[in-house]
């Protein structure tokens, strides 16, 4: 994994864009793992249909990854003869096999490591400048001391020299001389940064794969920006600590994955009823139950949208790229604060634990923020925390504000917050809580809409990457294709969707779930064109651009 | 801001009529709490009273301070969030034996060991009242009055004192609803004690546990000054009958409050992700490719 991160940083410093995802088993430490990279001259948001280069450090457990590592006859496979026979699946792909004694070469260097030999070979085959490789390795391993660094540099050189004898790879074009700044960031880091930029100052959370890196990045960052991260005893505590902190005035967030979201659901209803803004980031993984913790799937959509009991209007948003993790999380914090409602942000393992070289992310629309009762305000009579207003948003008194004490309540209540079981109070408060979300103007950020044509792709979250790629390939073939990627899932935006779908005759829905959760969601919320096809398969296999393109081509 | 000097106990009560049954011990807890808050003399807006679900958890609505009435069992988690986010506030959590020791038992354990500077008023009547009379975690195993457990629970009850001490609580007092003046003094002492403090209140349920009227005869004051070490308290109260009132333990652990500073802004962290192509690298790369 370290070698993959170094290779990505090298590509960035050489002026390229790129993406690195990772595939790993359930091991605690070590064990089988693969770093999957794509290097390109423009930003990329998905892996390609096959890999051009596979450096196999060993073949043990390769079969567990084989399905995630598609190869073609133009691919080059670097195989170490010491690791035994090349697996049949690799041979069958027709890829060119280049034999390189990685382990033996590592042994020729004092303290040399096989992965550094492989990295040197990979960089040479791709054509990345060796001096940049050496500089990045020095930057990342320098702290480990001169001996380690010298061994690494020697191992890199051994790999690069030996690679000269291997088959030639179809070469990358020159990197763009665009002078555009680049960021090297993972989705989970971008989520954390988005939260921080959105103003979050309190995080409580319970560790869970694949969300933990959000928390690991945020803990020291919060401590330096006047906030804090608290490790809670479980997800029930985490969501309720966050609700408490927000009630007390601090913009607050927790991050979790499916099992944790399930535990938090009851209290998300409390946030709805008590009108307490909170953000829950769910980095989705394969489910149900413990499922596949280390691999991605878009299958928490149902629970995020429909999991709350009662009529409980709330926000659900989904980032659709690594860069967008920042945009969408920051936007979600602003919306939750402005609308005094909980927001669920559905990221996933494929975004969260992947790393990309990107252009600096754009900023979400400015949020007006939480409407509070000013400290100087003289409340004439009893303060009405849940007062009916045109927008449905009522001024919130933060503890410490004199003259406007109240009790926030998960029981249905009057405008003052006094518990009430009366039909009229229930109807009034239900209307108010629905109105404040449905009546708000979310602007153009509700979806990314790209291209024109009477064929449209409708996607959300991480499958937007391959959908975007397929749309670009289709356009290059003369197939006019529109891409609609929803960022705001709840509340639904029927008028905007009707506009986005205007003129569309055929619609291809793309999602990573076995139960077609997204398609069912769309059917429940929107009027869709007469002809709809769905590409839907479960994780952990990513959706590939080619299967989307095949459907578009069949239609054309 | 409140004119502190003139606030009476009555000023800490609201005009909302409690749902409690006539004779419920919780009325006396409300009276004692209001008296304690008046005695502490802090402005009403600087106090937050947090509860979960149950008869006793209704108490915030009957006071005039900031309140949060959340879901069942999570009062201590909400209160922890309030206090950590706003150390300037006086934070009190309140609730019953089912809320705090059954559905919320895990949070009780961790609140004791986390030791955030706040106070928990645990109103114990050994029964679920709101759901009409089922056994709670503090109910004796041979109590047969519930239709759910007609032969008794057959399960040992939790001893809140022992559980709290074993979990690292920093202050533990026990009071009786029948003695609201003593209870008010215990609440004041608990709030003034740094760290997590528990006031375990024997608060009779006259509706489902009318035999608890006899608690008046059972309670007795602690004979000695509070123990200062958990082991000492555990030894002293190993055979406690559950009716000893007073401050039973007062420890000196440092309260939990994460350090924070404002040396950076969110935007400062963007620089850490920026990649600066090496001078010459862009020119060199095409040749190499």
Neighbouring CB atoms inside 10 A of A438's CB total: 12
Rounded to an integer, what distance in angstroms lies between the CA atom of residue A229 and that of residue A203? 5
Q: Comparing C-alpha atoms, which of A5, A101, A114, A96 is closest to residue A51? A: A96
**Is there a single domain that holds both residue A487 and residue A405?**
no
What's the number of domains chain A is made of? 4
3-state secondary structure of A411: coil
Please check whether residue A503 lies inside any domain of the structure.
yes
Q: Do A132 and B109 touch (CB under 8 A)?
A: no
B147 burial level (CB within 10 Å; 0-12, 13-18, 19+): exposed
Question: A302 in the Ramachandran plot: left (φ > 0), alpha (ψ -120 to 50) or beta?
Answer: alpha
- Same domain assignment for residues A434 and A449: no
Upstream peptide bond of A18 is cis (omega within 30 degrees of 0): no
Same domain, A285 and A407: no
From chain A, the residues in CB contact with B64 under 8 A are: 405
User: Closest to B85 (Cβ–Cβ): which among A181, A249, A357?
Assistant: A249
Q: Which residue has the tokens 């050189």?
A: A157
The answer as to whether A320 is a domain residue is: yes
More confident residue, A375 or B22: B22
Nearest residue of B to residue A233 by CA position?
B110
DSSP state for residue A47 in the 8-state scheme: -
Cα A470 to Cα A461: distance, rounded to the nearest angstrom: 15
**pLDDT tens-digit map of A278-288:** 999 999 999 99
Distance CA A54, CA A235 (A): 40
Domain end position, chosen among A358, A384, A400: A358
Instruction: Write out the two tokens for A479.
Output: 């197939």
Chain B: closest CA distance from residue A203 (Å)? 9
Residue A323 lies in a domain: yes
Burial A278-291 (b: 16+ CB within 10 A, else e): bbbbbbbbbbeeeb
Residues A95 and A218 in one domain: no
How far B257 CA lies from chain A's nearest CA (Å)?
Answer: 10
Please indicate, yes or no, whether residues A204 and A295 belong to a single structural domain of this protein.
Answer: yes
Query: How many Cα atoms occupy the beta-carbon half-sphere of A339 within 13 Å?
Result: 30
Closest of B32, B15, B34 to residue A407, by C-alpha: B15
- Mutation pick from B14, B275, B284, B287 vs chain A, by most beta carbons of A within 10 Å, is B275
Select from A329, A358, A387 the last residue of a domain.
A358
Q: What pLDDT score does A167 carry? A: 83
Residue A284 DSSP symbol: E
Q: Do A241 and B80 touch (CB under 8 A)?
A: yes
List of chain B residues whose C-beta atoms are within 8 Å of the C-beta of residue A233: 106-107, 109-110
What pLDDT score was predicted for residue A143?
84
What is residue A377's predicted lDDT score, i.e. its pLDDT? 66
Distance CA B160, CA B102 (A): 11
- The enclosing domain of A54 has a CATH number of 3.40.920.10
CATH classification at residue A321: 3.40.50.970
Residue A155 is encoded by which pair of tokens? 């191992």
Do A339 and A225 share a structural domain?
yes
**DSSP conformational letter for A60:** T
Write phi, then psi, for A517 (nearest 5 degrees).
-60, -40
CA distance A525 to A301: 14
Q: By the 8 A CB rule, do A167 and A98 touch?
A: yes
* Pair B249, B169: CB distance under 8 Å: yes
Q: Are A205 and B274 in contact, with CB atoms under 8 Å apart?
A: no
Secondary structure element (H or E) that encloses residue B50, with its range: strand B47-51
The answer to whether the Cβ–Cβ distance between B45 and A400 falls below 8 Å is yes
Nearest Cβ partner for B60 among A204, A236, A407: A407
Confidence check: pLDDT of A553 > 90: yes
ipTM entry: 0.96
**Closest C-alpha to B118, from A1, A244, A385, A494:** A244
Q: Do B85 and A127 touch (CB under 8 A)?
A: no
**Cα distance between residue A119 and residue A524, in whole Å:** 49
Residue A10 burial by CB count (10 A; 0-12/13-18/19+): exposed, middle or buried?
Answer: buried
Put simply, the answer to whether A411 touches B69 (Cβ < 8 Å) is yes
Q: Among partner residues B106, B273, B276, which is closest to A185 by beta-carbon distance?
A: B273
Q: Report which secondary-structure segment, H or E, holds A452.
A: none
> Does residue A94 sit in the same domain as residue A73?
yes
**Residues of chain B contacting residue A404, judged by C-beta atoms under 8 Å apart:** 45
Amino acid B287: pLDDT: 34
- Give B-chain residues touching A186 at CB under 8 angstroms: none
**What is the Cα B270 distance to its own chain's centre?**
41
Averaged pLDDT, A128-156: 90
Q: Which among A9, A244, A397 is the nearest to B68, CB-wise? A: A244
Q: Are B70 and A274 within 8 A, CB to CB?
A: yes
Is the Cβ pair B275, A9 closer than 8 Å? yes
Burial of residue A472 (CB within 10 Å: 0-12, 13-18, 19+) is middle
A317/A338 same-domain check: yes
Whether A252 sits inside 8 A of B106 (CB atoms) is no
Nearest chain A residue to B86, by CA: A248
Q: Do A245 and B282 touch (CB under 8 A)?
A: no
CB-CB: which of A223, A402, A419 is closest to B261? A223
Nearest to B107 by CA among B201, B198, B226: B198
The pLDDT of residue B160: 98
pLDDT in tens, A112-123: 999 999 999 999
Q: Do B86 and A240 touch (CB under 8 A)?
A: no
- Please check whether residue A459 is in contact with residue A450, taking contact to mean a CB–CB distance below 8 angstroms: no
Supply φ then ψ for residue A468, to 5 degrees.
-65, -45
For residue A79, CA distances in Å to A24, A126, A472, B165 come to 20, 16, 34, 61
Distances (CA, A) of A388 to A98, A377, A491: 72, 19, 20
Decide if B269 and A407 are in contact by the 8 Å CB cutoff: no
pLDDT band at B286 (very low <50, low <70, confident <90, very high): very low
Q: For residue A490, list its beta bridge partners.
A: A316
Q: Return d(Cα B233, Cα A44) in angstroms, integer.
A: 64
Would residue A169 count as lying in a domain? Answer: no
Q: Do B274 and A406 touch (CB under 8 A)?
A: no
Per-residue pLDDT tens digits for B136-158: 999 999 999 999 999 999 999 99
pLDDT score recorded for residue B280: 52
- Is A361 or A377 the better-scoring residue by pLDDT? A361
All domains of chain B in start order, with CATH: 4-263 (3.40.50.970)
The residues facing B13 across adjacent strands are B63
Residue A61 CB-half CA count within 13 A = 11
Instruction: Measure B197 CA to nearest chain A CA, in Å.
Output: 18
CB spacing of B89 vs A400 below 8 angstroms: yes
Q: Say if residue A86 is in the same domain as residue A113.
A: yes
Report if residue A366 sits inside a domain. Answer: no
pLDDT top residue among A349 and A174: A349
And the tokens for A106?
A: 């590592």
Of the candidates A171, A183, A269, the beta carbon closest to that of B274 is on A183
Flag if B88 and A128 touch (Cβ within 8 Å). Answer: no
Query: What does DSSP assign to residue B54?
Result: S
Chain A residues near residue B16 by CB distance under 8 angstroms: 418
- A226, B277: Cβ pair inside 8 Å? no
Contact at 8 Å (CB) between A80 and A91?
no
Tell me the pLDDT band of A258, cut-offs 50, 70 and 90. very high
Q: Which of these, A197, A196, A267, A199, lies nearest to A232 by C-alpha position?
A: A267
Render pLDDT for A506-521 as a digit per residue (tens, 0 to 9).
Answer: 999 999 999 999 999 9
Strands A182-186 and A355-358 come out as antiparallel
To the nearest whole Å, the CA of B45 is away from the closest chain A CA by: 5
Q: Per-residue pLDDT averaged across A179-191, rounded?
A: 93
Q: Are residues A482 and A416 in the same domain?
A: no
> Kindly report the CA angle at A327 between A322 and A332, in degrees rounded to 5?
120
Please state, in angstroms and as integers, the Cα–Cα distance from residue A171 to each residue in A4, A125, A167, following that order.
Answer: 19, 9, 12
Q: What percent of chain A has pLDDT over 90?
A: 85
Give the pairing type, strands B66-69 and A407-409.
parallel
The answer to whether A36 and A22 are in contact (CB under 8 A) is yes
Q: A415 lies in which domain range?
A: 371-440
Residue A387: C-alpha distances to residues A512, A531, B102 (Å): 42, 46, 35
Taking chain A, what is the end-to-end CA distance rounded to the nearest angstrom?
41
pLDDT class of A156 with cuts at 50, 70, 90: very high
Q: What is the pLDDT of residues A26-66, one digit of tens each?
A: 677 667 788 999 999 999 988 988 999 999 988 887 877 88
Please report residues of B whose CB lies closer than 8 A to that of A14.
277, 281-282, 285
pLDDT single digits (tens) A377-413: 666 578 999 999 999 999 999 999 999 999 999 999 9
- Check CB contact under 8 Å for A399 and B275: no
- Mean pLDDT within A69-82: 93
**Residue A510 is part of a domain; what is its CATH number?**
3.40.50.920
Q: Pairing state of beta strands B119-124 and B90-96? A: parallel
pLDDT score for A375: 80
User: Which residues in chain A are closer than 8 Å to B68, comparing Cβ atoms?
Assistant: 243-244, 247, 274, 407-409
Which are the contacts of B29, defined by CB distance < 8 A and separation ≥ 6?
B56, B59, B94, B121, B123, B177, B180, B183, B201, B203
Identify the residue among A124, A405, A412 best suited for mutation to test binding to B, counting B beta carbons within 10 A and taking the highest: A405
Looking at the fold, whether A312 and A295 belong to one and the same domain comes out as yes
Closest CA of chain B from A120, distance in Å: 14
Residue reference for tokens 């047969």 = B144
Rounded to whole angstroms, the Cα distance separating A37 from A20 reads 4
pLDDT at B3: 66
Query: Considering the domain boundaries, does residue A85 fall inside one?
Result: yes
Task: Tell me: pLDDT of B278 over 80.
Answer: no
Q: Residue B285 pLDDT > 50, yes or no?
A: no
Q: How far apart are CA B176 and CA A528, in angstroms?
A: 65
In a domain, A176, yes or no: no
| Average pLDDT of the residues in B31-38 | 98
Q: Within this chain, do residues A219 and A283 fall inside the same structural domain, yes or no?
A: yes
Question: Using CA atoms, how far apart are residues A458 and A497, in angstroms rounded to an integer?
Answer: 11
């Amino acid at each position: 994994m370290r070698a993959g991160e170094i290779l990505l940083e090298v590509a960035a410093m050489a002026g390229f864009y790129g993406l690195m995802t990772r595939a790993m088993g359930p091991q605690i430490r070590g064990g089988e793992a693969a770093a999957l990279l794509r290097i390109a001259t423009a930003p990329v948001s998905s892996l390609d249909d096959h890999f051009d280069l596979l450096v196999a450090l060993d073949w043990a457990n390769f079969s567990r990854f084989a399905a995630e590592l598609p190869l073609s006859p133009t691919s080059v496979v670097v195989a170490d003869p010491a690791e035994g026979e090349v697996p049949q699946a690799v041979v069958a792909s027709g890829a060119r096999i280049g034999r390189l004694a990685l382990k033996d070469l590592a042994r020729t260097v004092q303290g040399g490591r096989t992965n550094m030999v492989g990295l040197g070979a990979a960089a040479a085959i791709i054509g990345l400048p060796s001096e940049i490789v050496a500089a990045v390795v020095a930057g990342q391993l320098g702290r480990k001391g001169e001996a380690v660094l010298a061994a690494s540099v020697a191992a890199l050189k051994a790999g690069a020299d030996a690679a000269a004898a291997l088959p030639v790879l179809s070469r990358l074009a020159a990197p763009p001389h665009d002078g555009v700044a680049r960021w090297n960031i993972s989705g989970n880091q971008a989520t954390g940064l988005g939260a921080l930029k959105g103003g979050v100052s309190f995080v409580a959370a319970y560790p869970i794969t694949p969300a933990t890196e959000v928390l690991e990045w945020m803990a020291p960052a919060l401590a330096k920006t006047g906030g804090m991260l608290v490790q809670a005893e479980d997800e029930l505590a985490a969501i309720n600590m966050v609700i408490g902190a927000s009630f007390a005035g601090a913009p607050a967030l927790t991050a979790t994955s499916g099992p944790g979201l399930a535990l938090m659901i009851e209290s998300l209803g409390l946030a709805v009823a008590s009108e307490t803004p909170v953000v829950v980031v769910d980095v989705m993984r394969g489910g149900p139950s413990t499922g596949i913790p280390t691999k991605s799937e878009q299958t928490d959509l149902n629970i995020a949208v429909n999991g709350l009991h009662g009529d409980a209007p709330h926000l659900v948003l989904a980032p659709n790229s690594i860069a967008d993790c920042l945009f969408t999380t920051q936007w979600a914090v602003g919306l939750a604060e402005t609308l005094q409602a909980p927001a669920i942000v559905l990221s996933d393992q494929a975004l969260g634990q992947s790393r990309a070289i990107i252009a600096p992310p754009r900023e979400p629309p400015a949020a007006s923020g939480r409407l509070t009762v000013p400290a100087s305000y003289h409340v004439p009579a009893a303060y009405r925390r849940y007062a009916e207003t045109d927008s449905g948003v009522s001024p919130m008194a933060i503890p410490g504000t004199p003259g406007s004490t109240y009790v926030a309540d998960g029981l249905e209540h009057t405008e003052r917050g006094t518990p009430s079981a009366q039909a009229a109070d229930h109807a009034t408060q239900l209307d108010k809580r629905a109105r404040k979300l449905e009546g708000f103007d979310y602007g153009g950020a509700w979806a990314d809409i790209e291209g024109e044509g009477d064929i449209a792709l409708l996607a959300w979250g991480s499958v937007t990457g391959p959908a975007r790629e397929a749309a670009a390939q289709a356009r290059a073939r003369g197939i006019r294709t529109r891409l609609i990627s929803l960022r705001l899932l709840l509340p639904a935006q029927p008028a905007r969707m009707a506009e986005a779908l205007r003129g569309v005759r055929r619609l291809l829905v793309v999602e990573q779930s076995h139960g077609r959760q997204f398609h069912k969601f769309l059917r429940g919320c929107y009027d869709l064109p007469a002809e709809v096809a769905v590409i839907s398969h479960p994780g952990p296999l990513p959706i590939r651009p080619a299967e989307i393109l095949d459907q578009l081509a069949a239609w054309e | 801001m409140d004119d502190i000097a003139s606030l009476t106990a009555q000023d800490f009560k609201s005009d909302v009529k409690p749902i409690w049954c006539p004779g419920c011990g919780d009325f006396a807890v409300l009276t004692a709490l209001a008296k304690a808050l008046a005695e502490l003399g802090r402005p009403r807006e600087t106090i937050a009273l947090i509860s979960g679900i149950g008869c006793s958890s209704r108490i915030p609505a009957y006071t005039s301070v900031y309140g949060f009435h959340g879901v069942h069992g999570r009062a201590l988690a909400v209160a922890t969030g309030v206090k950590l986010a706003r150390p300037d506030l006086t934070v009190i959590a309140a609730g019953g034996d089912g809320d705090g020791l059954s559905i919320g038992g895990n949070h009780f354990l961790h609140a004791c060991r986390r030791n955030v500077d706040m106070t928990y008023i645990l109103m114990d009547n050994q029964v679920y009242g709101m759901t009409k009379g089922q056994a709670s975690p503090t109910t004796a195993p041979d109590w047969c009055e519930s239709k759910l457990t007609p032969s008794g629970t057959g399960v040992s009850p939790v001893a809140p004192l022992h559980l709290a001490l074993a979990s690292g609580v920093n202050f533990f007092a026990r009071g009786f609803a029948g003695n609201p003046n003593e209870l008010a003094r215990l609440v004041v002492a608990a709030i003034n004690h740094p760290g997590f403090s528990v006031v375990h209140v024997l608060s009779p349920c006259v509706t489902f546990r009318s035999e608890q009227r006899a608690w008046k005869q059972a309670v007795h004051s602690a004979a000695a000054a509070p123990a200062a070490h958990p082991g000492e308290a555990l030894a002293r109260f190993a055979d406690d009958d559950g009716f000893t009132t007073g401050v039973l333990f007062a420890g000196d652990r440092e309260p939990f409050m994460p350090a924070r500073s404002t040396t950076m802004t969110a935007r400062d962290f963007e620089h850490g992700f920026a990649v600066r192509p090496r001078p010459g690298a862009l020119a060199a790369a095409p040749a190499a490719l």
